[in-house]
Structure 1
Amino acid sequence: MPKPLIGVTTYLDQARWRVWDMPAALLPAQYPRLVQDSGGLAVMLPPDDPAAAAETVARLDGLVIAGGADVEPVRYGAEPDARTGPPARERDGWELALIDAALAAGTPLLGICRGMQLLNVALGGTLVQHLDGHTEAVGVIGRHPVTPVPGTRYAALAPERTEVPTYHHQCVEILGKNLLTSAHADDGTVEAIELPSPAWVLGVQWHPEMGEDQRVMRGLVEAAVTFRS
């Protein structure tokens, strides 16, 4: 059976490599590697016209909304905190449209860090704009344990308390419509969210691509195989 095609969203930033310094669609290599190591084919989805989201999702078997910049607070009806980073409006518009299209089509969806937060916002939820203790240092991935909520999809993938790679300073405040909390940190921070079955929709606040545990991505890839068939 052909491997499922998994789309992964990208940054859009100024970048330098070799002799070049120009705008680039960027994605840390760990994302496609995790998709590949989990049995999928990875394709990058740079920001595009939101009107193209449904057509894009229709060609995918699964979708990953990757980490990155803070979601612009206007998206959830808030004024920006002084500690909120500069907006990535092209990504916000494109990725919200992709989420809407995936939810409408039933396409398996995984949100990672910013991706989880954007999933929550897409369903009407709000965010805490600054949180201490979940970023070790600027540019340094930290680690802390998360505890699954019994009976959830995430708990079925990883039933035990697990230490995860983390780098975030924002988190879920009010859950979006129909979303369930499926893991939390020791300080009570919501660390994973999901929609009830039969949808395969999961968001994790940490960065599985920066660790060795493939279970979350394998869950998406397996769901994508089922979706395709």
Structure 2
Amino acid sequence: MASSASDLAPSGPRPVVGVTTYVERAAYGVWDHEATLLPRTYADAVLRAGGAPVLLPTIGPALPEVLERLDALVLSGGADVDPANYGREAHPRTVSRPERDASELGLLALALAAGLPVLAVCRGAQLLNVALGGTLVQHLPDVVGSDAYQPGGGVFGRVAVEVAAGSRAAGILGERADVLCYHHQAVETLGEGLEVVARSADGTVQAVERPGEPFVLGVQFHPEQDAADDRLFRAVVEAGRAHAAARGVRR
């Protein structure tokens, strides 16, 4: 049985981990309107890993004052990145949120410039790639011939991935991992400074990273959905702790 967040609470202050959110129409109680929201699994994963999650609304410009208070950043999943950001026309199956793109691209630029540890999940990995000049496959079934990566019905698919020996990802997950996925897009042309460090059997990119320091890792799958395996979240939380220490902040 997975331990609760309180069971794993660190003895000292928790690194502060910002997690980007969605702006979507939501219905609850008597209300039906646009809301800033995030699946609880992200916050739970950060808590179990020893971090303090802070939810970041992706509306308006990215604020440097927010980044100054963070020790690490998680870019969450969600709608497709607008292909206008990488010079392409939209595929009929592409559904984007341009306001979120603008906010998160600004946030990511600030984070990378500050050396903030970044864990980018699903859409987040795609955004990371686009931010560094890369492009995306807009609809994987056109390439791989199946919906294996996005089964539908709110059900995550389980996929085996091979991880490059010697990579940061392999140091966390080992050289083979079974992961949960729900995506219909993926990295195509690689962004500047990134390396592909994991693929599934058909060659689809499943993880990218920036070699060396600081911690910058994008995964196409959804580690927040597996409560029995917090290794990626523990890794970014510990990187956040080290980042705080380097700035003279005790975590």
User: Is this a same-fold pair by TM over 0.5?
Assistant: yes
State whether structure 2 residue 60 is matched by structure 1 residue 44.
no
Structure-1 residue corresponding to 2:159 = 144
**What SS does the corresponding residue of 1:13 show, helix, strand or coil?**
strand
Task: Give distance in 2, aligned partners of 1:138 and 1:196.
Answer: 36
Aligned residues: 227
Contact 2:165 / 2:175 at 8 angstroms: preserved in 1? no
Structure-1 residue corresponding to 2:248 = none
Task: Give distance in 2, aligned partners of 1:49 and 1:143.
Answer: 35
Q: 1:78 aligns with which of 59, 65, 88?
A: 88
Q: TM-score, normalised by structure 1?
A: 0.97
Identity %: 50
Q: Which amino acid aligns with 1:193?
A: V
Structure-2 residue corresponding to 1:58 = 68
Q: CA RMSD in A?
A: 1.0
Q: 1:88 aligns with which of 83, 90, 97?
A: 97
Structure-2 residue corresponding to 1:219 = 235
Q: TM-score, normalised by structure 2?
A: 0.88
**What SS does the corresponding residue of 2:79 show, helix, strand or coil?**
coil
Structure-1 residue corresponding to 2:23 = 12
Shift of 1:51: 4.6
**What SS does the corresponding residue of 2:129 show, helix, strand or coil?**
helix
Q: Deviations over 1:148-204 (max 9, x none)?
A: 111110011011311101000000001100101111111111100010111200000
State whether structure 2 residue 133 is matched by structure 1 residue 124.
yes
Q: Could you tell me which runs of 5 or more consecutive residues in structure 2 were left unpaired when the two chains were aligned.
A: 1-11, 142-147, 246-251
Task: Give distance in 2, aligned partners of 1:80 and 1:7.
Answer: 30
Contact 2:62 / 2:104 at 8 angstroms: preserved in 1? no
State whether structure 2 residue 34 is matched by structure 1 residue 23.
yes
Q: Deviations over 1:101-157 (max 9, x none)?
A: 010000000100000000000000000000122112242111111111111100110
Which stretch of structure 1 is more off in the superposition, 15-24 or 104-113? 15-24
Mark the structure with the bigger radius of gyration.
2
Q: Which amino acid aligns with 1:65?
A: L
